[in-house]
């Protein structure tokens, strides 16, 4: 069945159609959630909450073509709610997540950049991760985060400058000690 048909059927109340649609892109949705919450359980929780909201509101969706962006916006909000409720400060302790650690073969560079990202505020970090980790363009990031494209660019630009500064400081520290 075509994806558009799945959405139309979901709008008529077909739960399985909605689930089938999400499962066709399950890795895409899961990665988006994982980038925010950084662990499997919370990512799955966010996906569960997302699908409930989607099913309850899908009849209001006028433009079927915008389903993907709309659903990802909802997923991002679900992730943010989970982070808020858990008072989740993304500290370096999050590296304890085994799956997160196992994914990175080049630990040196990964830990440095992840630590440096913590120096940014949430919105800068969010924009940078959506762009570089998930490959979203500015327009998509703007739609998902409900921010003007100019603001997205500004957050990324400012965030990169700050990252450069933080990593440079770390490099100077290393070089000096040598």
Partner 1 sequence: MNLLLKSNKMKGIEEILYDKKIDIEQIKAPEDIEERLFNALDSVKVIKTKSKINYKIAAAVILLVLLVGYSHDTLAYFGEKIIGYDNIQSGSLDSLNNNGMGQKINKSYKFSDGTIVTLDGIIYDDKNLYTLYSERNEYKEIDGNEIGSDTINIIGYIEYKNSTSIGEITNNKKQINNIMKFTAPAFYERKLTFSICRNVNGKIETGNISFVLDRSKAIKRSLNKNINKTVNLNGHEINFKTISVSPLGIEVKGTIESSIYNIIHHNNEQYNVSFDVVADDKVISNIESGSRTNASLKGIGRTFYSDFSGISSFKKLQLSNIILNETKYYNSSEKYFNLNSNTVNKKIDFDGTSFEVEKVYIDGDSTCVQMIRGKSAEIIGAGFFINGQEVHSEYKDLEELNNDKVRVLWRIYGKGEDIKFKIRGINYISKYDNKIDVK
User: x/- site string to partner 1, residues 22 to 41, per CB under 8 A?
Assistant: xx--xx-xxx--xx----x-
User: x/- site string to partner 1, residues 90 to 129, per CB under 8 A?
Assistant: -xxx-xx-x--xxxxxxxxxxx-x-x--xx-xxx----x-
**Burial bucket for residue 13 (CB in 10 Å: 0-12, 13-18, 19+):** exposed
Closer residue to partner 1 in complex, CB, 5/157: 157
Closer residue to partner 1 in complex, CB, 3/45: 45
For residues 60 and 11, the answer to whether their CB atoms sit within 8 Å is no
Query: Using the rule CB under 8 A, is 64 a contact of partner 1?
Result: no
Query: Using the rule CB under 8 A, is 3 a contact of partner 1?
Result: no
For residues 21 and 7, the answer to whether their CB atoms sit within 8 Å is yes
Residue selected from 133, 139, 140, 141 as contacting partner 1 according to rule CB under 8 A: 133
What ranges in 58-132 are assigned the alpha helix state H? 67-85, 98-103, 107-117, 122-128
């Amino acid at each position: 069945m075509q994806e558009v048909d799945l959405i139309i059927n979901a709008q008529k109340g077909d739960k399985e159609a909605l689930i089938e649609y999400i499962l066709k892109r399950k890795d895409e949705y899961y990665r988006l959630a994982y980038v925010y919450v950084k662990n499997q359980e919370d990512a799955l929780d966010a996906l569960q909450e997302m699908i409930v909201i989607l099913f309850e509101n899908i009849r209001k969706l006028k433009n079927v073509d915008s389903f993907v962006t709309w659903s990802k916006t909802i997923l991002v909000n679900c992730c943010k709610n989970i982070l808020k409720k858990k008072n989740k400060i993304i500290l370096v302790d999050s590296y304890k997540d085994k799956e997160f650690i196992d994914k990175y073969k080049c630990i040196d560079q990964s830990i440095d950049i992840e630590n440096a990202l913590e120096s940014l505020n949430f919105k800068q970090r969010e924009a940078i991760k959506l762009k570089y980790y998930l490959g979203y363009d500015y327009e998509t990031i703007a739609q998902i985060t409900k921010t003007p494209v100019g603001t997205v660019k500004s957050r990324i630009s400012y965030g990169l400058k700050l990252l450069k500064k933080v990593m440079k400081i770390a490099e100077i520290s290393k070089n000096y000690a040598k």
